[in-house]
Amino acid sequence: MPSAPHGSATDRWSMSFTTGTRFQPDGRSDERLPILFVRFDKGAKHVARQPITVGSLLEMRAFGVEFGAFTLWNKTRPADEAVVSKAIRSRDTMAFLYDPSMTTYSVSSHVAAYALGSSDVVAMTDAGFKVADIALNLTANAFNKLVHPPAMGTNLPRERLRGFRVQRDRGYAFTTLLFHLRGLVTDVASEAAIQTALTRAGLRPLDELLAQARVAIERKRKTELLSPELRVIRERLVDAGLTVLYRRNFDELRMWPAPLIAPGPLVMTGEDCAEFHVSTPTLSVEQTCFLHDCYSRLRDQTKLALRAARGFEFGWSDYVY
């Protein structure tokens, strides 16, 4: 990858942006539903073609939090031990970034390095962490005004560019903002750099964007729900969303989550399935199980409906699984 964090010479990848379209249940592709991909190659060998998803942005934030926690912890170590810890951390980071099986999680880090044109892992992680946070909270109004950066490429079909905005593709927004941030970051994405990037992208100042996000979250309360259990769960999730939507200090390297008093998700260990919270619980175990059960039922009914629709259309000779 040009200007990417340096792994070993044999691990270096090249990357490029491509787009695709989603397929509808009838098997036809729809240009109004585009997907932004990153293609990774290692010399003549293809590594992966990875979409930039909301999950990858959440992973970028998690990676930033982990990096920030390590940085704070390492400052408390004796100087000689800190050097060793940093070297081990760098080695493990490179192993993660250049693992072909982990591109779902590492793609946002690669995009941050590529868009910024930086080989500095700290700069890449800090900017990626902050921009992911902004992209995840953009509203429909912000997407409508998003300006495509020329440095990202001008060969994208107009219909697909419009589709990214209409569908509120947060991976596209993340990539766009990072390209607008190019040339503004040295080691830390400062307040001034972030605001300049937002202006380049055609967006309002950050405080206004966060205010719009708060309004959008509050509107979630207004939709009627028949289930009293779901009404309670939605109220708690809305309250949690408003709590963690706080203004960060971008003039400091603070890749750190909200205080532990902030609401957090239910966590289950992989070994003994023990359930716990790392902060104030948002939902109880019972509410979490109920929500998962609702999701499972919706997924199953959707599959059955798709199978029935396809079966009717093709005289019961074709099925969707």
Q: Is residue 226 part of a domain?
A: yes
Quote the Cα angle for 94-96-100, to 5°.
Answer: 110
> Cα–chain-centroid distance for residue 253?
19
* Number of residues that this document lists for the chain: 321
Asked if pLDDT for residue 270 goes beyond 70, the answer is no
Q: Is residue 196 part of a domain?
A: yes
Mapping DSSP onto H, E and C, the string for the chain reads: CCCCCCCCHHHCCEEEEEEEEEECCCCCEEEEEEEEEEEEEECCEEEEEEECCHHHHHHHHHHHHHHHHHHHHHCCCCHHHHHHHHHHHHHHHHHHHCCHHHHHHHHHHHHHHHHHCCCCHHHHHHHHHHHHHHHCCCCHHHHHHCCCCHHHCCCCCHHHHHHHHHCCCHHHHHHHHHHHCCCCCCCCCCHHHHHHHHHHCCCCCHHHHHHHHHHHHHHHHHCCCCCHHHHHHHHHHHHHHHHHCCCCCCCCCCCCCCCCCCEECEEECCCCCCEEECCEECCCHHHHHHHHHHHHHHHHHHHHHHHHHHHHHCCCCCCCC
Q: Is residue 124 part of a domain?
A: yes
**For residue range 208-247, what is the model confidence (pLDDT) as tens digits?**
999 999 998 888 877 777 788 888 888 888 888 888 777 7
Asked if pLDDT for residue 28 goes beyond 80, the answer is no
Q: Is residue 319 part of a domain?
A: no
300: Cβ contacts below 8 Å, ≥ 6 apart: none
Q: Is residue 225 part of a domain?
A: yes
Averaged over 268-297, what is the pLDDT? 80
Q: Which of 10-24, 78-92, 256-270 is most confident? A: 78-92
**For residue range 125-147, what is the model confidence (pLDDT) as tens digits?**
889 989 999 999 999 999 999 99
The better pLDDT of the pair 310, 203 is held by 203
**For residue range 157-186, what is the model confidence (pLDDT) as tens digits?**
888 889 999 999 999 999 999 999 999 987
Confidence band for 90, pLDDT divided at 50, 70 and 90: confident
Asked if pLDDT for residue 272 goes beyond 80, the answer is no
Confidence band for 11, pLDDT divided at 50, 70 and 90: low
Number of domains comprising the chain: 1
Q: What is the pLDDT of residue 143?
A: 94
Q: pTM here? A: 0.81
Q: What is the mean pLDDT of the chain?
A: 82
Residue-number span of the structural domain to which 149 is assigned: 9-247
Q: Is residue 309 part of a domain?
A: no
Q: Is residue 287 part of a domain?
A: no
Q: Is residue 149 part of a domain?
A: yes
CA distance 122 to 89: 12
